[in-house]
């Protein structure tokens, strides 16, 4: 029974890999939207404000423009989550499970692997974000922030951002190497 199910999944993945370039283009557009939203999240993050403070801009968090932009930080996360899942789904529909005979299997594995890694790191950044304790505890973050396991994780938030930026840059570079800016016919 398991062999039959695995065969059906393999056939479905092979059929998914034979998709049109429009799915690839839609995945690229969703990827660009996801990156723009990630940049907006980073710009509204206190990590970015701290970085600006280190380069000489004082009292960034007291700036009226920053405050008005920062209040949308949590909403940007939700929009990015939707576009990220959509991007990953369309990318996987386009490539399917890369097969050994596929000439693009090597690069598809790298693009998909880095994309999935980026999604995991994005989830790590989100879970270490200052809005997560309120969501995880339904508005009562005090106990979670005092937790001896969560507190050090929460303190690494800015480092997770740098790791996320590196993974996304590598994902973009492999994608660019594969299709350029826009895939042809």
3-state helix, strand, coil in the chain (%, to 5): 75, 0, 25
* Arithmetic mean of pLDDT, 84-100: 88
Q: Can you give the pLDDT at residue 81?
A: 95
Q: Domains of the chain: which residue ranges?
A: 2-179
Q: Can you give the pLDDT at residue 172?
A: 94
Does the pLDDT at position 16 exceed 60?
no
Does the pLDDT at position 100 exceed 50?
yes
3-state secondary structure of 88: helix
- How would residue 135 be classed by pLDDT, with cut points 50, 70 and 90? confident
**What's this model's pTM, rounded to 2 decimal places?**
0.81
16, 92 contact by CB (below 8 A):
yes
Does the pLDDT at position 161 exceed 90?
yes
27, 97 contact by CB (below 8 A):
no
């Amino acid at each position: 029974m398991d062999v039959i199910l695995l065969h059906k999944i393999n056939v479905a993945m092979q059929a998914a890999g034979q998709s049109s370039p429009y799915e690839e283009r839609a995945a690229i557009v969703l990827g660009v939207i996801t990156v723009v939203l990630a940049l907006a999240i980073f710009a509204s993050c206190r990590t970015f404000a701290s970085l600006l403070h280190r380069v000489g801009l004082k009292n960034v968090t007291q700036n009226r423009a920053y405050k008005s932009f920062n209040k949308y930080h949590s909403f940007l996360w939700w929009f990015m989550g939707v576009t990220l899942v959509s991007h990953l789904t369309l990318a996987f529909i386009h490539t399917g499970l890369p097969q050994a005979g596929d000439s693009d299997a090597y690069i598809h594995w790298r693009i998909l692997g880095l994309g999935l890694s980026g999604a995991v790191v994005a989830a790590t950044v989100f879970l270490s974000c200052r809005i997560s304790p309120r969501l995880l505890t339904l508005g009562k973050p005090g106990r979670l922030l005092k937790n001896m396991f969560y507190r050090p994780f929460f303190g690494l938030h800015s480092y997770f951002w740098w790791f996320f930026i590196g993974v996304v840059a590598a994902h973009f570079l492999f994608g660019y190497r594969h299709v350029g800016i826009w895939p042809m016919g």
